[in-house]
């Protein structure tokens, strides 16, 4: 039995002559009642009464509110057109939210739920109906939606993606009936979306027709996708933002470290915004002292917002001026001045974070951080030492690493339970061991282990402590434990580019080189101008090498060598990759450069002993090392 929910409404314009047709671009919303036939078979009268009530009291008024026109209604659904994508999406979400609220107290009844699909495009209009491919796509989107949700097409997503009130979950490209090309599907909501991993993965791989390869493909891809799901779920991080280096307005250039540390701290603190995708500080610092139009920076980094400002210290008082800029229009969303005489930066950070969250309609995740011992005065108290250490930490050289470590150690003498200083110290110690800097060794690994574990016990949200512990595990050959630590660092800070790169490194050791390539690409995306970008390329290049993709590895490692010529192992693996893809002349040139820059380490015996260390004693690493030595021997003629 068909039930007409509403009478189709005419548009508020003159009626076209019979048979007249015209085209226009509109948003089309198609809604369908879930399990309508089953509910009707149980109780026609009750189902009709409940559905009619929702229609007249909720659906029709909501469509009117957003200037929609109900083109036709069926017993189990309706077709509506809107002049804008924004109106269509708001209407759909308000209807879904309203239905849930109206039935919240209905126990023991089948809830009336809708699936809704929305598309934007050209439609063909006549006196009675609308037609065309755009309507067909909306129907396919509706069929793909889960009960109570709204799915939209790429054309809708492109128009509303930057609006902060919406959350999205990418459901992937889907092949649907009677549509020749795949339709990209996005779920949209007012609240953050948590999609069960298997449903999300199934959406990604459905429609694949290469049956002979799907098993191997799925195993590899699902493993990588599972890692991303475990690290930070499928919460859409749609507010892309960069904290540009704050300027030091003091007459004294010695206070530059304060501006740098505030920039770094704010970058980390912005990860407390649930929907923030934050460009890493390493990339942001490449814009230091450079005149730049925020709109141009937005285009270069693909971010929507930029936070910039200045710092001035006058005795015990620190004044920070800051402004949040929309990089599409170049307009200020807000500007404010903050002055503090306090024992911590947390008050300053919390005030600024609150203003940013309000502007972006975002939510701040609560933090349990404790105030630090010390003040913002430049007198080498523990807080001041941490800020100095952080500023030095942003420059990846042996000299700056030692400087950062010394500041951390000085601060810990006065405040031995400062978790952030402990994490920073552990990070610098392990970094120096891995880079072969400043004559450190096993004793420093042990010191880093103790410092990292103490930091985590005091505050489990210190990302550098988890990162350092990952390196400790790696140096001891415990790659599964190392990967777990790097994953925890990412969980604490989902925008921590270096942790993605190091997680990728461990995935190579553990036999998932393909997944490692994706993780390294994620690190590069989060910090495309990072001082450690060469390391990201090195990790990706070795992963490609482990996969036997020597051409790709050679290209990637050439970029790594250009960016980080001080890393001897990049030159070694580059030489081998070139040799193994028979680019012999380039391999010889790479070997000459290796010998020129790292004469003591461009030695087969030394390299063989180095890769006999405990951290490389696993089948995946040993197989790759064997090919490394083969390529080096081929080039050197040994």
- Region 55-81: mean pLDDT is 89
Question: What's the rounded Cα separation, in Å, for the pair 440 and 452?
Answer: 17
Lowest mean pLDDT among 80-89, 123-132, 424-433: 123-132
Looking at residue 20, what is its pLDDT? 52
User: Greater confidence, 386 or 574?
Assistant: 574
The percent of residues in the chain predicted with pLDDT above 70, rounded, is 77
Mean pLDDT across 384-409: 81
Buried b (16+ CB within 10 A) or exposed e, 116-144: bbbbbbebebeeeebeeebbbbbbbbbeb
What does the pLDDT look like over 585-606, one tens digit per residue? Answer: 999 999 999 999 998 888 898 9
Please report the pLDDT score of residue 201 as a whole number: 43
What are the tokens at 292?
Answer: 């730049």
pLDDT cut 90: percent of the chain above it? 30
CB 561 within 8 A of CB 571: yes
The winner for highest mean pLDDT among 211-220, 441-450, 528-537 is: 441-450
CA dist 102 and 576 (Å) reads 67
pLDDT at 202 over 50: no
User: Is a pLDDT exceeding 60 seen at residue 195?
Assistant: no
Mean pLDDT of 19-39: 82
- Are 73 and 6 in contact by the 8 Å Cβ rule? The answer is yes
Report the b/e string of 436-445 with b at 16+ CB within 10 A: ebeebeeebb
Q: What pLDDT is attached to residue 351?
A: 59
Predicted TM-score (pTM) above 0.85:
no
Confidence at residue 37, expressed as pLDDT on a 0 to 100 scale:
78
Phi, psi of 516 (to 5 degrees): -65, -35
Asked if the model's pLDDT at residue 489 lies above 60, the reply is yes
Please check whether residue 190 is in contact with residue 156, taking contact to mean a CB–CB distance below 8 angstroms: no
Query: Comparing 155-164, 358-367, 483-492, 521-530, which segment has the lowest mean pLDDT?
Result: 358-367
Summarize pLDDT for 259-271 with one digit per residue, the tens.
787 777 777 777 6
For range 316-343, the mean pLDDT: 68
Q: Among 307, 295, 282, which Cα is nearest to 498's?
A: 282
Decide which of 225 and 586 is more confident: 586
Question: Sorting pLDDT into bands at 50, 70 and 90, what band is 208?
Answer: very low
Which span out of 280-289, 353-362, 437-446, 580-589 was modeled with the highest average pLDDT? 580-589
* pLDDT surpassing 60 at residue 197: no
| 324/107: higher pLDDT | 324
3-7, 543-547, 609-613: least confidently modelled range: 3-7
Burial degree of 473 (CB within 10 A; 0-12, 13-18, 19+): buried
Of 148-157, 304-313, 554-563, the range with the lowest mean pLDDT is 304-313
pLDDT digits (tens, 9 = 90+) for 344-368: 455 565 556 655 655 555 444 444 4
Helix locations, 132-192, DSSP H: 133-144, 154-160
* pLDDT over threshold 60, residue 23: yes
pLDDT at residue 458 greater than cutoff 60: yes
pLDDT-derived band of residue 539, with 50, 70 and 90 as boundaries? very high
Of residues 394 and 380, which shows the higher confidence score? 394
Please state, in angstroms and rounded to a whole number, the distance separating the CA atoms of residues 355 and 341. 20
pLDDT at 117: 95
Mean pLDDT value across the chain: 79
List the structure tokens of 303: 């971010």
pLDDT of residue 254: 64
- Model confidence at 502, pLDDT cuts 50, 70, 90, reads very high
| Percent of the chain that is helix, strand, coil (3-state, to 5) | 55, 15, 30
Mean pLDDT of 323-351: 64
- Confidence bin at 245 (pLDDT 50/70/90): confident
- Give the pLDDT mean for 220-237: 43
Diameter of the chain measured on Cα atoms: 90
| Spatial distance between the Cα atoms of 155 and 115, rounded to a whole number of angstroms | 19
Residue 192 — very low, low, confident or very high, per pLDDT cuts 50/70/90?
Answer: confident
CA 537 to chain centroid, in Å, comes to: 18
């Amino acid at each position: 039995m068909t039930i007409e929910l509403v009478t189709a409404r005419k548009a508020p314009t003159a009626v076209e002559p019979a048979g007249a047709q015209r085209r226009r671009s509109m948003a089309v919303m198609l809604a369908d009642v879930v399990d309508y036939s089953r509910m009707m078979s149980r109780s026609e009268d009750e189902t009709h009464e409940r559905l009619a009530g929702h229609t007249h009291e909720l659906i029709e008024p909501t469509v009117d509110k957003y200037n929609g026109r109900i083109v036709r209604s069926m017993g189990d659904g309706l077709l509506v057109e809107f002049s804008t994508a924004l109106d269509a999406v708001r209407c759909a979400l308000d209807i879904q939210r309203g239905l849930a609220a109206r039935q919240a107290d209905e126990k023991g009844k089948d809830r009336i739920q809708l699936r809704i699909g929305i598309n934007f495009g050209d439609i063909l209009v006549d006196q009675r109906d609308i037609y065309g491919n755009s309507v067909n796509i909306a129907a396919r989107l509706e069929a793909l939606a889960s009960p109570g949700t709204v799915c939209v097409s790429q054309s809708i997503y492109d128009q509303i993606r930057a609006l902060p009130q919406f959350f999205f979950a990418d459901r992937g490209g889907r092949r649907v009936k009677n549509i020749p090309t795949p339709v990209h599907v996005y779920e949209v909501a007012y609240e953050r979306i948590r999609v069960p991993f298997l449903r999300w993965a199934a959406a990604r791989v459905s429609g694949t027709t290469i049956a002979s390869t799907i098993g191997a493909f799925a195993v590899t891809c699902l493993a990588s996708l599972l890692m991303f799901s475990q690290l930070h779920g499928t919460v859409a991080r749609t507010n892309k933002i960069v904290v540009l280096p704050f300027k030091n307005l003091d007459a004294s250039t010695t206070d530059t470290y304060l501006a740098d540390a505030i920039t770094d701290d704010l970058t980390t603190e912005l990860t407390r915004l649930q929907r923030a995708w934050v460009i890493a500080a390493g990339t942001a610092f490449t814009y230091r002292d450079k005149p730049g139009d925020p709109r141009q920076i937005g285009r270069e980094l693909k971010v929507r917002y930029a936070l910039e400002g200045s710092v001035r210290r006058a005795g015990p008082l620190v004044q920070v001026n800051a402004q949040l800029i929309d990089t599409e229009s170049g307009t200020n969303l807000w500007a404010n001045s903050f002055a503090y005489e306090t024992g911590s930066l947390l008050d300053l950070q919390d005030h600024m974070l609150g203003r940013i969250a309000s502007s972006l309609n975002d939510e701040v995740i609560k933090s349990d951080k404790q105030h630090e011992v010390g003040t913002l005065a430049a007198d080498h108290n523990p807080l001041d030492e941490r800020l100095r250490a952080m500023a030095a930490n942003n420059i990846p050289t042996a000299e700056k690493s030692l400087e950062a470590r010394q500041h951390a150690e000085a601060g810990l003498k006065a405040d031995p339970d400062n978790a952030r200083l402990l994490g920073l110290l552990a990070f610098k110690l392990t970094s120096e061991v891995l880079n072969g800097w400043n004559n450190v060794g096993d004793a420093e690994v042990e010191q880093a282990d103790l410092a990292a574990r103490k930091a985590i016990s005091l505050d489990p949200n210190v990302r550098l402590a988890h990162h350092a512990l990952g390196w400790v595990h790696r140096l001891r050959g415990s790659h599964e434990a190392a990967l777990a630590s790097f994953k925890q660092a990412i969980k604490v800070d989902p925008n921590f580019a270096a942790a993605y790169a190091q997680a990728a490194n461990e995935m190579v050791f553990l036999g998932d080189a393909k997944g490692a390539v994706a993780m390294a690409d994620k690190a590069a995306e989060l910090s495309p101008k990072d001082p450690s970008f060469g390391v990201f390329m090195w990790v990706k290049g070795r992963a490609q090498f482990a996969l036997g993709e020597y051409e790709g590895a050679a290209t990637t490692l050439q970029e790594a060598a250009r960016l980080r010529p001080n890393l001897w192992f990049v030159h070694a693996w580059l030489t081998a990759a070139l040799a193994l893809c028979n680019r012999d002349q380039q391999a010889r040139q790479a070997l000459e450069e290796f010998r020129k820059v790292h004469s003591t380490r461009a030695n087969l015996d030394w390299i063989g002993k180095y890769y006999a260390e405990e951290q490389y004693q696993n089948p995946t690493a040993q197989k790759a090392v064997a090919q490394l030595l083969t390529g080096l021997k081929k080039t050197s003629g040994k």
